[in-house]
């Protein structure tokens, strides 16, 4: 098979470079291995034959453990990680900044503030069913405020990042105030959510998050080419016919939707949107569809393995996955920051 192949369908044509796709296939093979490990390991470990038997007999004792406890939780972790990774990739393209992520734009802080406010003021009356909607709404509201503050006859990546950092600090202070002034039981639940956890993930959550992400991916399909052009200079983009401000706003909103959905169901898991795109660029240096799919795979692997470590290495404790993602992400962020300064 040729390394580069052109596909044509009427007026549509696309050149496909096959070499990076083999790496993508291998990465998704690692996703499959990680999934099998997450299903096998736990308080009751399962050998490969026992795992296959459990998957083929959902009503058996081990089948219930796999189908009702481990599988939905692991799939939820994979969806959350993939959505955060894709959001981070889009933001790094739009901002032209390798340090950009949903955390720096204020998405995570907005979702956190809204979620803690819900825990403090509404959870007692409405229960936790509406928590994802509150978190997603807070994320979108935060991005809207950042965009409004950064607008001066258009927005630039630098102004968006600076406004995002400032709003994040303000929302973090508001979150801390709500935690301090809330009852202890509310604060404890909010802290688990703020750390980032897929504990108790069920099929209903997997289904709702899958539908939301599927709709976001459908909206993203016609914008992929503009995401690849977002890294070039504004004057050059205008010269080739790109409506820069409109596309930048659409891509930023799409990244906020993806991160908001992930944070709504997985909690405020930090650094995934920073780490996964960089891993994808290491493995697939040329921006394109292969790099996007690689970033999704990297994000899914990171969160799945972090959740596996949290629920298996410290038994009988079940620690939030966000702790272990942060343990890797914080040094990674410092390394990138030092490299940027140099």
Per-residue model confidence (pLDDT) at position 5:
65
Per-residue model confidence (pLDDT) at position 78:
96
Q: What residues have CB less than 8 Å from 159, skipping those under 6 apart? A: 150, 152
Cβ atoms of residues 136 and 130 within 8 Å: no
Per-residue model confidence (pLDDT) at position 1:
45
CA separation for the pair 131, 118 (Å, rounded): 7
Which stretches in the chain have pLDDT values below 50? 1-2
Q: Closest by alpha carbon to 206, among 150, 262, 146, 144?
A: 262
Query: Token digits for 44?
Result: 């009751």
Per-residue model confidence (pLDDT) at position 341:
66
Query: Token digits for 256?
Result: 């906020």
Tokens 């229960």 found at: 127
> In the chain, what is the straight-line distance between the N-terminal and C-terminal CA atoms, in Å?
42
> The pTM is what?
0.89
Q: How many residues does the chain have?
A: 342
Per-residue model confidence (pLDDT) at position 19:
76
Q: Answer whether the bond into residue 278 is a cis peptide, omega within 30°.
A: no
Angle at 259 between CA 258 and CA 263, to 5 degrees: 125
Cβ atoms of residues 110 and 143 within 8 Å: yes
How do the domains of the chain map onto residue ranges?
83-271
Task: Measure Cα distances from 167 to 22, 108, 146, 164, 319 in Å.
Answer: 41, 11, 7, 5, 29
Per-residue model confidence (pLDDT) at position 267:
84
**How many other C-beta atoms are found inside a 10 Å radius of the C-beta of residue 196?**
29
**CA Rg value for the chain:** 21
Per-residue model confidence (pLDDT) at position 6:
65
Task: Specify the 3-state DSSP secondary structure of 4.
Answer: strand
CATH architecture, domain defined by 83-271: Orthogonal Bundle (1.10)
């Amino acid at each position: 098979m040729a390394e580069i192949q052109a596909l044509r369908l009427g007026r549509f044509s696309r050149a496909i470079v096959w070499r990076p796709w083999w790496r993508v296939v291998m990465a998704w093979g690692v996703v499959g291995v990680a999934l099998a490990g997450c299903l096998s390991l736990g308080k009751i470990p399962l050998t490969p034959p026992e795992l296959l038997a459990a998957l083929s007999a959902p009503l058996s004792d081990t089948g219930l453990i796999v189908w009702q406890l481990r599988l939905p939780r692991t799939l939820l972790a994979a969806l959350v990680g993939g959505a955060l990774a894709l959001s981070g990739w889009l933001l790094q393209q739009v901002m032209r900044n390798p340090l950009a992520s949903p955390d720096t734009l204020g998405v995570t802080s907005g979702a956190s503030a809204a979620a803690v406010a819900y825990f403090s003021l509404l959870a007692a009356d409405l229960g936790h069913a509406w928590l994802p909607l509150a978190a997603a709404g807070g994320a979108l509201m935060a991005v809207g405020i950042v965009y409004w503050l950064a607008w001066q006859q258009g927005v630039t990546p630098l102004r968006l990042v600076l406004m995002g950092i400032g709003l994040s600090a303000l929302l973090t202070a508001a979150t801390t105030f709500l935690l301090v002034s809330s009852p202890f039981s509310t604060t404890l639940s909010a802290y688990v959510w703020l750390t980032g956890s897929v504990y108790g993930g069920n099929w209903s959550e997997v289904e709702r998050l899958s539908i939301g992400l599927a709709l976001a991916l459908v909206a993203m399909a016609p914008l992929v080419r503009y995401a690849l052009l977002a890294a070039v200079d504004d004057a050059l983009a205008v010269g080739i016919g790109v409506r820069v401000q409109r596309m930048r706003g659409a891509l930023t909103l799409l990244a906020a939707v993806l991160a908001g959905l992930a944070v709504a169901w997985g909690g405020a898991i930090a650094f995934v949107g920073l780490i996964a795109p960089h891993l994808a660029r290491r493995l697939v240096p040329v921006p394109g569809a292969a790099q996007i799919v690689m970033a999704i795979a990297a994000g899914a692997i990171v969160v799945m393995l972090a959740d596996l470590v949290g629920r298996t290495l410290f038994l009988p404790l079940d620690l939030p996955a966000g702790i272990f993602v942060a343990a890797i992400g914080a040094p990674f962020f410092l390394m990138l920051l030092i490299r940027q300064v140099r």
